């Protein structure tokens, strides 16, 4: 077990709801030698282990989601390129063994993930992901194997799903905050203030 490198900044922290002492941390940094990537603690954050088997070296982790029904299943978005190019090379990975190993969920490469994920609490195989091109927000209903593209709008920097209404998705970005009440087909603009 080790401490995350001091030169690496956290991007995401997630506590396992079934085991509160288990914490996942996604990290990123500009130094490709520091070994940034996902970390896991099983003792409430006192010690950490790198869990990057299958991800490759010098991985920037953008987001992590845990299946609320099957906590051994995790999803994360990660990139392998330093600097400004990292946003153009974000990929989605899945683990079914609490992060011990990862595999890429979709290798079609015909769209680009933007890094942010949201998982339906009532249907954990339904995922939403941001995209950095004209596809906007993408939706998967099969755990990330295939994606519907072009939902809502491009330029999204954050996603959230209403815990009581799984079809209600919130997206924040350059155009303000948007909401869809039917899983991505209808958009209502909500601006703060």
Weakest-pLDDT range from 80-89, 109-118, 158-167: 80-89
Rounded mean pLDDT, 109-138 = 77
At residue 44, the pLDDT reads: 92
CA 128 to each of CA 36, 151, 174: distance values in angstroms, whole numbers, following the listed order = 25, 9, 18
Task: Give the integer Cα–Cα distance in Å for 176 and 93.
Answer: 28
With beta carbons less than 8 A apart as the criterion, state whether 134 and 177 touch: no
**pTM of the predicted model as reported, rounded to 2 decimal places:** 0.82
Rounded mean pLDDT, 38-67 = 86
* 4-27: pLDDT as tens digits: 545 455 578 889 999 989 999 888
Domain boundaries in the chain? 105-193
- The C-alpha angle with vertex 130 and arms to 31 and 139, in degrees rounded to 5, equals 140
With beta carbons less than 8 A apart as the criterion, state whether 89 and 79 touch: yes
What are residue 30's phi and psi, to 5 degrees? -85, -10
What's the CATH code, domain 105-193? Answer: 2.40.10
Q: Has residue 42 got a pLDDT over 60?
A: yes
* 103-123: pLDDT as tens digits: 988 765 555 667 788 999 888
Greater confidence (123 vs 90) lies with: 123
At residue 70, the pLDDT reads: 92
| pLDDT band with cut points at 50, 70 and 90 for residue 184 | low
Task: Give the integer Cα–Cα distance in Å for 190 and 168.
Answer: 13
Kindly tell me the sign of the dihedral angle through the C-alpha atoms of 35, 40, 42, 45.
Answer: positive
């Amino acid at each position: 077990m080790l401490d995350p490198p001091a030169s690496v900044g956290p991007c995401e922290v997630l506590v396992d709801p079934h085991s509160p002492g288990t914490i996942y941390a996604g990290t990123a940094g500009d130094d490709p030698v520091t070994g940034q990537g996902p970390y896991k603690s099983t003792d409430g954050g006192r010690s950490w282990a790198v869990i990057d088997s299958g991800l490759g070296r010098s991985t920037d982790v953008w987001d992590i989601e845990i299946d609320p029904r099957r906590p051994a299943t995790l999803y994360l978005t990660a990139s392998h390129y330093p600097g400004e190019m990292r946003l153009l090379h974000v990929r989605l990975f899945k683990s079914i063994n609490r992060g011990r190993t990862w595999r890429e969920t979709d290798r079609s490469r015909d769209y680009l993930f933007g890094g942010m994920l949201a998982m339906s609490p009532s249907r954990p195989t339904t995922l939403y992901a941001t995209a950095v091109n004209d596809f906007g927000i993408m939706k998967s209903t099969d755990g990330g194997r295939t994606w519907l593209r072009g939902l809502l709008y491009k330029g999204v920097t954050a996603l959230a799903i209403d815990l009581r209404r799984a079809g209600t998705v919130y997206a924040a970005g350059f155009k303000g905050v948007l909401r869809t009440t039917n899983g991505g087909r209808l958009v209502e603009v909500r601006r703060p203030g």
